[in-house]
Structure 1
Amino acid sequence: MAASSCLLFSFIFFIVSPLPLSWSSSGRSVTFGEYTRSSDQNFSLGAVVDYSSRAGMEEGIAMRIAVEDFCAQASGCITLHLKNSRGNPSRGAHAARNLINNRVRAIVDLGTVREAASIAEIGNRSKVPVLSLASEIPSWVSWKWPFLVKAAHSQHSQMEAIATVIQSWRWRKVNIIYEDDTGSASSTITLPSLFTALQDAGIEVNDLLALPPSSEYYSLSEKLDRLRRGQCRVFIVHTKVKLGVAVFREAKDMGMMDSGQESVWITTADITNYMDTLDPTAISSMQGVLGVRTYFPHGTKKLKDFSSRFKSISQARGSIHKRNVEPGIDALRAYDAVWALALALKNAPVGAPSTGGRETSNKVGTDSTEGQALLDNILSSSFIGLTGQFKFVNGSLEPARTFELVNVVGRAYREIGYWTKGLGFSKGIDENSTYNYSMSILGPILWPGGPWAIPRGWVIPTKGNKLKIGVPFGNAHMEFVYARYESPGANLTVTGFSINVFNAALMQLPYHVECEFHAFNGTYDSLVQRVYSKEVDAVVADTAIVANRYQYAEFSQPYSDSNLQIIIYVQPTTFGRAWLILKPFTSSMWIATIFVNTLCGFTVYVIERMHYKDVFRGSVLNQTIVMLTLTFTTLFSLQGRKLHSNMSRIIMVVWLFVALVITQSYTASLTSFLTVEKLTQVDVTVESLVRDRVQVGCDRNSFVVKHLEGIGFRPSNIRTYSEDDYTRALKSGEIGAAFLESPHARVFLAKNCKGFTTAKQTVEVGGFGFVFPKNSPYLPDISEAVLRIAESGTIRDLENSMLNSYKCASSEADSNQQKIGIESFLGLFGVAIATSVVCLVLFVLHLGSDNSSDVSNDKKKTEC
């Protein structure tokens, strides 16, 4: 440990020593030190480096190699002056002022955003370009300090890569752990970029955990415990590497990365770029972590040569841990920055002669024309560096488009693939690579706790926030949503078709959502507005998707038909065909017909039996059969036997008239049953209803009222009803048609299956959908889930179950209305019965009178 400290101190002393150190490269002198006079001041540049960090030491070595390479390849050489800021912005500003006083023509700033701001102010006053390698610098800086050049690739696309990773696995909520340092780019610039990327991907930020840079003033375990007690298990760690390692160690000790936690941990480039520098204990606490890091071309000859020389110098100086001396991204950026400045200095115009390293007037630095020309040269730079294409666009280095994805496994990490803006994920980045927006193309990933199963990203919390769902109270169509309290003080009970569909959709989600229902009175428009005012998180009901409601909320994929049905009242004609011949008459009609026929036949039999003694002989059964046969053959055929009595003829005339009417009525009714098909669609249109000013009905508190007015109906011709009133209103002719949404219409027809039907024409509307706030992270998944259950037939089964629960109460009554009843023939039957009875009485009286006469005549003959 002491030896390492001694070596580190020796290296720092070597860097900051005021005595110059020179070495020869192709016959040219390259000098490092506080400041060294050069024979050609026009080719001098300065750099402010933080040698108290590993990154600063790497950057110093990289810049040394860049100067050496440039002097070996170019026709001129440069002198590089290094100053140590020790991570202090004030020291950095003082170092920059010192460099400018000593006539450097450009400065490379390798510090933080705060340090870049202080140096930029000095460079802007002195017209000296300052190249900053700070990861993110606000866009407004270019307006305030034109001579500050952002020479680090913008990492905004990195946030899009992270959002795409989360979206690929369909996690809809994330927790963000970030370093709350007001001077860092993480909290001021890149964090808003992360929010924007997540929002664009439909991902909700569940919780934000801000951690100060130093953990000595707070308990990290207490901070993390708040996230551990929640439901969301997707964590984005956006901190510096030192704080990030502390977070992972604490999370592991708290069991937040164990098996069964369903957790996902994702690191940004601020951590992932420095994984090579981590010790084994830090790596062991990060098992299963997925990281996004800055991409640079691997395997190029230039990079291999640079890496070899970098290792040689690092090992010789003992400045880097011997465990890993590979150059990091900071070293590559420093090399490219020096190379860009060297090229710009080579082509810049020669300025005023040196003043001997001292300020001679208030004007410090270079001539403004010279400085502007050098700035223009820098901004026009374009070459292939160690980090890839080095080119400025609109005053900033071209943003990074490709990032590498790594997965911590075992004692190190493995590269699993790449993400490219506009293309998606791929295993490689050559021209033959296959791209996909699903991360599954990269193969299996080791997640925290292992094995390779994809974590859900959520757990059921002991005390978690539930989704507040609004439902209508006192809904007119209770089959869809029926909210009620079973008893005073009891919990709200909600049932219905819409609720069943919503629950089925929730079962399709890749994460768990707990809901609690809240009932509200009022119109559906007011219920939708409650989503807008954030009183509820969603509305589940038979809510129609209409345009004017989109100003308050958004809708899921419709789960019902999207049209209005026109319900009208007709006379249905379809019955069972097995006993169709009995259908024209009611049971009472058949009984009355048989009774009257038997009565008439019996009367004729009694009157005529004396004239057909040869026929009416034998047993009672035989005489009864003969009587019925005689009755039917006489009544229904002209071939019947001859009648002898006038009373028989009177009965027969009356009965034949009754029989004629009955048979004709029966024939007409039976013909109708046999030939007329059931009316399923009627030639009724919206245009005809509007033209004829027909009274129409629709639901109360429904959007249909305004919709009907919009398609031409007069307000005076529109009446509103509850569901139970339509039957009466249509049958009585109070309204000629009713406009119901298709699902409501199907329920109505299931309840009133006889006498009602739909017109052929329909009116297009949006259908039923679930209501969510605008940009809700749940909406895409709910819509996809609705499509899934629709395609699987689940919605159809739920609807059939709802409709099958109703037995048409009006079917028997409507069927009887089509039959001919006895009430229609009471007069005829009365005449027939009266005639038969009168004739029978007269016959009996006449027969008694004849018998008396015969008895008198017999007595007289006897007396004689």
Structure 2
Amino acid sequence: MGVAQDTKTIPVKVGVVLDLDDVLYGNIGLSCINMALSDFYASHSDYKTRLALTTIDSKKDVVGAAAAALDLIKNVEVQAIIGPALSTQAKFVIELGQKAQVPIISFSASSPFLTAIRSPYFFQATQNDSTQVNAISELVQAFGWKAAVPIYIDNEYGEGLVPYLTNALQAVDARIPYQSAISPSATDDQIVAELYKLMTMQTRVFIVHMFPSLGARLFAKAKEIGMMSEGYVWIMTDGLTAEFLSSPNPSVTDTMQGVLGIKPHVPSTKELKDFRVRWKRKFQQDNPDIIDAEMNIYGLWAYDAATALAFAVEKMADFGFRKVNVSSNSSTDLATLGVSLNGPDLLQALSNTSFKGLSGDYLFVNGKLQASPFWIVNVNGNGGRKVGFWTPTKGLVQTLNSTTAKSFNSSPVSCISTVIWPGGKSDAPKGWEIPSSNGKKLKIGVPVKDGLGQFVSVTRNLSSNTTTVKGYSIDVFEAAVRSLPYALPYEYIPFAKPDGGPAGNYDDLIHQVFLRSKLVMYNSFEKCDELFSKGSGNGGISAAFDEAPYMKLFLSKYCSKYTMIEPTFKTAGFGFVFPIGSPLAPDVSREILNLIEDDRMRQIEDKWFGKQSSCPDSSNSISSNSLSLRSFWGLFLIAGIASLSALLIFTANFVYQERRVLSPDDPRASMWRRIQNLFIVFDERDQTAHTFRKNEVSDRSGVDLPYAGEPSPLAYSVHTESPGDPPSSECDSTPHRQESQEFVIDINQLNNPFEERPTAFDTACRLQN
């Protein structure tokens, strides 16, 4: 097939490899490519190049697609290839394009495995499957599902999504407990066997990623065995959504009511509406035997891929192939494969091409079509109902033009519109279920032990062969189960021997490593009281560590003798054990926290332990070993005696040294005056101290010292003239370098120590005279 050529235009050979017997990719894709070139050159008549198409049917076969690509490159010498349709067919075709430098443009091969080949000549003109995993994981997170099982086709197309899906689910704290891989050639019996295996598991959230033909059979069998009923969640990827909902088939959509689908968003424009009408008329004329065909996203991508290639080749100057001279009679001999001379230039032109296409903004980023928002579609009736959007920047939103992103605590209702789930219910399934195909219930092991029946007691009625379980722990568990948003059938199984005795204790189940020689075990409150009374030095204990509920019961009986150290934490105490990964664990834990926050937990505690607002023996005060000031009276006594002794010794020594002050040499001085003088002496500076001795050395060295205040009234210095010095008629105040004679004025001569005293200068003058 081709486009009419003008004598002045340059034909550019382009190959098309599609499955012409496939309506979704082949017939619709080829018709869109032809219409794209007609529309493009009708609006760009001045362009010098014209794409000349050569189409080969790959016959839905990997080898057929490779042979077709090899023939187009070797014999037709095409400059580019549009196709193939399937990811399984594209791998070898990409290798051929790399070798011959021929760009390969696929509008439907979406597997991430293809980009892992890292060929610059491959352009994935479709949404890479890895772009939709974040939309799926946010759906799982929004509805609070903690696990999901991928069901995928066992080939490159199916396996390519699993690593990305696993990482996305782990990022929202959701597990993948099992991966279900179904062979492309699986029979109906094999599909049913795999579905029955999934029914025996707890997880009820399934993510389906496979070819439409296999997916239709899977949903049909799932409905047949009851897996499209209430409680199940099915999410299908964009490949299935585009096939099943673009041209709905009632026989198919009837088997998948309530399924959620992911579908790339296509903006509604006037050009798109006009194209749909024109394409519908043209397609029915060219394919009269195909009835009720509808345009799908792959047809729009095929249209835009042909347009992008037409833009790119117009930038080229000329086109040709470099032949390889190897004698061979085979038209598919790889040794004779030529190399496109303009391959690198065409590669660069395609990478830089961008325009507004029918599918939206068209631009290649690292060889992949840029990511677009996704529709969230709910299969309801004979079609799909859009319930929300997902965008890379805002996450799940109800409308695409929303100006605010989804908040952290948003509920599923605020993220998307109401969903009709399998079974016709609008309430979101919890995402898991205890397998109960034979009416099975959740079995809860109950310990059997002597004493402390307020917590768990097991009563066996031999006449009726029934067992009654009650107690504080039982009431808390049952209150939490009643608050769950779903029904949870359960039954208690006593951990007992056939005769009703205990089958073991907690140490038989949980082995902890600790210093057993320092631990003293007790099995009754009376024994605990006895151990406390003995004390740790006499084979007893100094402290008891136990769950808060046990301690409350103990204190209710011995409130006058013991107390519990604060703070206590309400969530500490009993634990309800679940298997690793059990979906019950977070739900039950959440409901127990809700019990603690309201008054129900207090009511249960009062029921089994009684109110502790008053103590029967309140006359006795509760003793405590906490530290107080009285605990340190010995240290205070020792410190006081030492300080007082030091003070007395110092006072006695000082009085003895200064006893002349108190001596009765002057009968005029009263005892009170002498005591005052003693205090004055005590308050004076000690000239023999180290600091003042340094100053004295400095003075005698002849260094002028700054004025430091009035001299002490108790000590003055005087000097005499040395022999040989000229006599002085008056006192000289200039310092002399000669030895000085020091003397002390008796303090008894000072009747008033505070009166003005002569200076050393005046005293010295009088002595000389």
TM-score range, shorter chain: 0.5 to 0.7
Q: Aligned residues: percent identity?
A: 29
1:439 maps to: 412
> Residue 81 in 1 paired to residue 54 in 2?
yes
Contact 1:468–1:518 (8 Å) recurs in 2: no
Secondary structure at 2:127 match in 1: coil
> Residue 364 in 1 paired to residue 166 in 2?
no
After TM superposition, give the deviation of residue 237 of structure 1 in Å: 3.9
1:284 maps to: 254
Contact 2:484–2:588 (8 Å) recurs in 1: yes
Contact 2:145–2:174 (8 Å) recurs in 1: yes
After TM superposition, give the deviation of residue 97 of structure 1 in Å: 1.0
Q: Deviations over 1:571-620 (max 9, x none)?
A: xxxxxxxxxxxxxxxxxxxxxxxxxxxxxxxxxxxxxxxxxxxxxxxxxx
> Residue 756 in 1 paired to residue 756 in 2?
no
Secondary structure at 1:289 match in 2: coil
After TM superposition, give the deviation of residue 514 of structure 1 in Å: 5.3
2:477 maps to: 502
Contact 2:267–2:359 (8 Å) recurs in 1: no
> Residue 48 in 1 paired to residue 17 in 2?
yes
1:69 maps to: 39
After TM superposition, give the deviation of residue 123 of structure 1 in Å: 1.4
Matches within 5 A, 1:637-676: none
Secondary structure at 1:375 match in 2: helix
**Cα distance 1:439–1:472, how it changes in 2: closer, same or farther (>3 A)?**
same
> Residue 335 in 1 paired to residue 137 in 2?
no
2:216 alignment partner, one of 232, 245, 255: 245
Distance 1:301 1:745 in 2: 75
1:307 alignment partner, one of 269, 276, 296: 276
After TM superposition, give the deviation of residue 242 of structure 1 in Å: 2.6
Distance 1:361 1:196 in 2: 40
Distance 2:535 2:434 in 1: 59
Contact 1:405–1:416 (8 Å) recurs in 2: yes
Contact 2:135–2:396 (8 Å) recurs in 1: no
Distance 1:449 1:284 in 2: 12
Secondary structure at 1:789 match in 2: helix
2:387 maps to: 416
**Cα distance 1:446–1:213, how it changes in 2: closer, same or farther (>3 A)?**
same
Secondary structure at 2:377 match in 1: strand
1:801 alignment partner, one of 601, 607, 612: 607
2:531 maps to: 729
Distance 1:460 1:282 in 2: 28
Unmatched segments (≥5 aa) in structure 2: 326-330, 496-502, 623-769
> Residue 92 in 1 paired to residue 65 in 2?
yes
After TM superposition, give the deviation of residue 124 of structure 1 in Å: 1.8
> Residue 786 in 1 paired to residue 592 in 2?
yes
> Residue 218 in 1 paired to residue 189 in 2?
yes
Secondary structure at 1:758 match in 2: coil
Contact 2:377–2:385 (8 Å) recurs in 1: yes
2:155 alignment partner, one of 183, 207, 225: 183
After TM superposition, give the deviation of residue 426 of structure 1 in Å: 2.4
**Cα distance 1:139–1:224, how it changes in 2: closer, same or farther (>3 A)?**
closer
1:448 alignment partner, one of 422, 438, 462: 422
Amino acid of the structure 1 residue aligned with 2:53: L
Distance 2:332 2:109 in 1: 33
**Cα distance 1:493–1:299, how it changes in 2: closer, same or farther (>3 A)?**
same
After TM superposition, give the deviation of residue 816 of structure 1 in Å: 9.2
Secondary structure at 2:554 match in 1: helix
Matches within 5 A, 1:90-169: 90-101=63-74, 102-139=76-113, 141-143=115-117, 145-169=119-143
Q: Deviations over 1:313-360 (max 9, x none)?
A: 2122125744343x1111112122223333333335645467699999
Distance 2:37 2:510 in 1: 67
Distance 1:775 1:349 in 2: 63
> Residue 388 in 1 paired to residue 363 in 2?
no
Distance 2:164 2:365 in 1: 20
After TM superposition, give the deviation of residue 447 of structure 1 in Å: 3.2
Secondary structure at 1:754 match in 2: coil
**Cα distance 1:508–1:344, how it changes in 2: closer, same or farther (>3 A)?**
farther
Contact 2:355–2:363 (8 Å) recurs in 1: yes
**Cα distance 1:284–1:522, how it changes in 2: closer, same or farther (>3 A)?**
closer
After TM superposition, give the deviation of residue 284 of structure 1 in Å: 3.3
Contact 2:62–2:88 (8 Å) recurs in 1: yes
**Cα distance 1:137–1:759, how it changes in 2: closer, same or farther (>3 A)?**
closer
Distance 1:334 1:720 in 2: 78
Distance 1:28 1:453 in 2: 67
Contact 2:105–2:122 (8 Å) recurs in 1: yes
After TM superposition, give the deviation of residue 749 of structure 1 in Å: 0.6
Deviates more, 1:775-784 or 1:229-238: 229-238
Distance 1:106 1:492 in 2: 79
Matches within 5 A, 1:600-619: none
**Cα distance 1:761–1:281, how it changes in 2: closer, same or farther (>3 A)?**
closer
**Cα distance 1:481–1:343, how it changes in 2: closer, same or farther (>3 A)?**
farther
Amino acid of the structure 2 residue aligned with 1:336: D
**Cα distance 1:749–1:433, how it changes in 2: closer, same or farther (>3 A)?**
closer
Secondary structure at 1:748 match in 2: helix
Distance 2:559 2:485 in 1: 41
Contact 2:107–2:125 (8 Å) recurs in 1: yes
1:463 maps to: 438
Q: Deviations over 1:748-780 (max 9, x none)?
A: 212322222234677999766555566654444
After TM superposition, give the deviation of residue 58 of structure 1 in Å: 0.8
Unmatched segments (≥5 aa) in structure 1: 1-19, 30-38, 530-700, 707-714, 819-864
Distance 2:187 2:566 in 1: 77
Secondary structure at 1:218 match in 2: helix
After TM superposition, give the deviation of residue 232 of structure 1 in Å: 5.8
After TM superposition, give the deviation of residue 310 of structure 1 in Å: 1.7
Secondary structure at 1:406 match in 2: strand
Amino acid of the structure 2 residue aligned with 1:430: N
2:691 maps to: none
Distance 2:323 2:566 in 1: 97
**Cα distance 1:149–1:303, how it changes in 2: closer, same or farther (>3 A)?**
same
1:271 maps to: 240
> Which protein, 1 or 2, shows the higher relative CO under an 8 Å CA cutoff with sep ≥ 6?
1
After TM superposition, give the deviation of residue 240 of structure 1 in Å: 2.6
Amino acid of the structure 2 residue aligned with 1:278: P
After TM superposition, give the deviation of residue 443 of structure 1 in Å: 3.5
Q: Deviations over 1:717-747 (max 9, x none)?
A: x766555333123234444544445433322
Distance 2:225 2:113 in 1: 40
Amino acid of the structure 1 residue aligned with 2:347: L
Contact 1:230–1:464 (8 Å) recurs in 2: no
After TM superposition, give the deviation of residue 439 of structure 1 in Å: 3.1
Amino acid of the structure 2 residue aligned with 1:388: G
Amino acid of the structure 1 residue aligned with 2:562: F
After TM superposition, give the deviation of residue 152 of structure 1 in Å: 2.2
**Cα distance 1:307–1:468, how it changes in 2: closer, same or farther (>3 A)?**
same
After TM superposition, give the deviation of residue 119 of structure 1 in Å: 0.6
